[in-house]
Amino acid sequence: MTLTFDPDAAASSESGMYGLPFTPDNAHVVVIPVPFEATTSYGGGTSKGPKAVLRASRQVDLFDFETGRPYERGIAMLDIPKEIREWNKEASKLAEAVLEARGAGDGGPELMSALDRVNEISDLVNDWVYRQTSVLLEAGKMPVVLGGDHSVPFGAIRAYSEKYPGLGILHLDAHADLRDAYQGFTFSHASIFHNVMTRLTSVDRLVQVGVRDLSNAEHQMITTSAGRITTFFDAEIAIAREEGMSIGSIADRIVSFLPETVYLSWDIDGLDPTLCPGTGTPVPGGLSWNEAIGLLRALIREKKRIVGLDLCEVAPGVTEWDANVGARLLYKMIGFALMSQ
């Protein structure tokens, strides 16, 4: 498609993602919005993330010093799906009682029925995301999932792992997300990578960065994974910096554990919470903006191929700050992914 707009002009409020004139049919990068957060166990608001990021994206300048003009390949977002909004509304209401009881446990048949229905809806969301991602991959596009909480990319990771067996995942997060059916929710936001690593055998390696909040069981899963899971704890990165190791060297070491083909699954709370104060489960510490982008630079240096990605847990707060950071981070992720290909 020949662009007929001025990339330096202000975007209108009616324009597409990043103010671009593309549609999902003629864009190479297609963003799949998944406004679902039923299993969120602390702060809420991530279901509003896709709409907020879309709005904020229109303020992002399109020329990027490091990746050039990623917009020229075409970036567009699908319409925010009505069925996901309805599933989120139903599941969130049912989940309230389960979350208040910290799991269904011995809460009786009514609570168990609510839990079962939330798990059923989560399956529907997974299948919807899987089908959307598969169709776009088959069409030669790069689908990108925009959450929603961090439970939502499971279907996308499944589709990508089927297309790229031996896939490696670079997971940026404050949390390990390796809990088994947290609070009874099979596809909890805290269980995404337990599900990935136990259900998707074509995922070769999970490399986690910035983790600073995890359970005993999660730590055990990491240490007994026979090398399939490598976690770079936030404290380890801080200590390495204190001992004089450059962030570039740290990033190179992290990336060295990944296979050639990489999928990015980034929870925005992996960043310093000053960059995402509205996110649902903020934790002190985390990566600075440039440290996070440094991971993308390292992937390019090490000649890794970024085939797909998701960004989750952006929750608009009192100001536009969270959505602003989310939109800019997503543009960087897309830019480096296209550069790597």
Tell me which residues of the chain have a pLDDT lower than 70: 1-4, 102-107
Query: What pLDDT was estimated at residue 106?
Result: 61
Q: What is the pLDDT of residue 103?
A: 64
pLDDT per residue as tens digits for the range 246-263: 999 999 999 999 999 999
* Of the candidates 23, 27, 126, 90, the residue with the CA atom closest to the CA atom of residue 338: 27
What pLDDT does residue 302 have?
Answer: 97
- Helix, strand or coil, per DSSP, at residue 102: coil
In this prediction, residue 99 carries a pLDDT of 77
At residue 1, the pLDDT reads 44
Largest CA distance in the chain: 62
Confidence at residue 182, expressed as pLDDT on a 0 to 100 scale? 83
**Helix boundaries (H) for the chain:** 49-57, 82-100, 109-138, 154-163, 192-199, 216-223, 234-242, 247-256, 289-301, 321-340
Q: Give the pLDDT score at 39.
A: 85
The pLDDT value recorded for residue 97 is: 83
C-beta separation of 59 from 324 below 8 A: yes
> In whole angstroms, what is the distance from residue 268 CA to residue 304 CA?
22
Q: In what side-by-side order are the strands of the sheet with 229-233?
A: 75-77, 29-34, 142-147, 305-312, 261-267, 167-172, 203-211, 229-233
Q: What is the pTM of this model?
A: 0.95
**Cis preceding linkage at 148, omega within 30:** yes
Distance of CA 119 to the CA centre of its chain: 20
